Amino acid sequence: LDESDADSYVVLGQILQWQGRNAAAEAVLKRALVLSPTNGDAREQLRTVRYALAPLVRPSAVYESDSDGNRMLTTSFTASWHPAAHFELRADGYRRALEQTALERKATGGLIMGVLELEPGWTVTGGVGGSRTDAAGDPTHVAYRAGVRTPARFRVSAGVDLASQVLDETAVLADRGVRLTSFGGNVRWTPAPGWRVEGNTGYAYFKGTEDNSRVSGSLTASRRLGRFFSLGASVRSFTYEKDLNEGYFDPDFYGIGEITSY
């Protein structure tokens, strides 16, 4: 209520950071420094926001093997840059060396994506890219992605995503050029402090030697116990229109048991 109180702006800036709204936090903290140029808390909070908005490059290397005889080495990077506080540009690139018995393939790809933060906390994303493999004819493939998410601080928040890409995680997939286009949505509900319920549903279309589709869903509920622990349960299910052996899935039996800690 008191627009001349710098300390109130500092606290508001901290809250906005907790909500993931860095652009709004930067504007509020700048206002605090206009009112009180020597305010140490405002300077420290603004420094934290600018770290979050600073350019970033993160490289990685992952080696994988599985019971089907696949060996996959993926080197990749993720880079981000904020030309404006409310707009982020991201670049993702990768190169994969893939083996399965006598079959060897290499795949390279990348995606450029924009992330727009709209007050009071909406997020809109969109990106385009492509990939290439050394399969017969050196095929190239276009990739794209788009999504919208509501503010995460709401008791009920939701998001929808659309994505299309070629599957090149294994040598067989890279050789066949199976394309995946998926549409999904998720809803997160916080019915009371400490409780969290999240549901996801999705539809995916596979285009390969033969077309196929998949419907999937999941539901998770958890309760925070004290400061360090949460207890929860989840269920997931999916079904394919056809039982194909196209390299991405051949279901005779599928089961998972998980225990997660963090």
Token pair belonging to 248: 């991405």
Distance between alpha carbon 245 and the CA centroid of its chain, in Å?
A: 28
Contacts for 154 with CB less than 8 Å, ≥ 6 apart? none
pLDDT at 189: 96
Distance between alpha carbon 90 and the CA centroid of its chain, in Å? Answer: 12
DSSP string, 34-95: HH-TT-HHHHHHHHHHHHHHS-EEEEEEEEEE-TTSEEEEEEEEEEEEEEETTEEEEEEEEE
Q: What is the pLDDT along the chain (262 residues), one digit of tens a residue?
A: 788 899 999 999 999 999 889 999 999 999 999 999 999 999 999 999 999 999 999 999 999 998 888 999 999 999 999 999 999 999 999 999 999 989 999 999 999 999 999 988 899 999 999 999 999 888 999 999 999 999 988 899 999 999 999 999 999 999 999 999 999 999 999 999 999 999 999 999 999 889 999 999 999 999 999 888 888 988 888 999 998 888 887 666 666 666 666 5
Residue type, 194: G
DSSP letters of 114-133? EEEEETTTEEEEEEEEEEEE
Dist. CA 161–CA 253, nearest whole Å = 29
How many angstroms separate the CA atoms of 22 and 205, rounded? 36
- Six token digits for residue 122: 């909406």
Residues 6+ apart with CB under 8 A from 17: 25, 45, 48, 49, 52
- What is the rounded distance in angstroms from the CA atom of residue 245 to the CA atom of residue 226? 47
Q: What pLDDT, on the 0 to 100 scale, is given for residue 247?
A: 84
What is the pLDDT, as a whole number, of residue 152? 85
What pLDDT is attached to residue 67? 81
